[in-house]
Amino acid sequence: MNEKAQIVDLQSIGHSSGIITVAESGRDFPFSVQRAYFLHGLTERSKRGAHGHVKLRQLMIAVSGSFRVSLTGVQGTEVFRLSEPTQGLLIPPMTWRDIDEFTNSAVCMVLASDRYDEADYIRNYSDFLDRLKSEN
């Protein structure tokens, strides 16, 4: 299960009245959406994430504004700047995430493979690293 975090391009269709951007399960990301949520009302000082998931997969999209996502997993640590609503960041299981450097208008949408389950969270970074090491 050595999936890699990656940016995926989402289909956008322009029209004289605006643009529609579509994220489709099976085409743009490899899971069915069981939960969707938005982070908003964020400031430049906001810090989100600071956890990993055992099984959960996510597609994270900057619907408005921009922010930085630092991911640590089997591939090491990678940093992404999300700023285009036409791109999503695919986050595999066993990936720690830290999200910061939000612009004032930032809205982060997350599509998740499962419903909320506290047992799937790893909230201590040392515990996360120990588990990551033991699984690989």
C-alpha span between 52 and 36 (Å, rounded): 17
Integer Rg of the chain from CA: 15
51 tagged catalytic: yes
Is-contact 5 79, C-beta < 8 A? no
For 135, how many CA atoms within 13 A lie in the half-sphere containing its CB? 15
Instruction: State the pLDDT confidence band at 136, using cuts at 50, 70 and 90.
Output: confident
Distance of CA 96 to the CA centre of its chain: 10
Percent of the chain with pLDDT over 70: 99
Write down the pTM of the prediction. 0.93
Question: pLDDT tens digit string along 54-69?
Answer: 999 999 999 999 999 9
Instruction: State the pLDDT confidence band at 107, using cuts at 50, 70 and 90.
Output: very high
pLDDT at 2 over 90: no
pLDDT at 1 over 60: no
Question: pLDDT tens digit string along 12-58?
Answer: 999 999 999 999 999 999 999 999 999 999 999 999 999 999 999 99
pLDDT of 111 reads 98
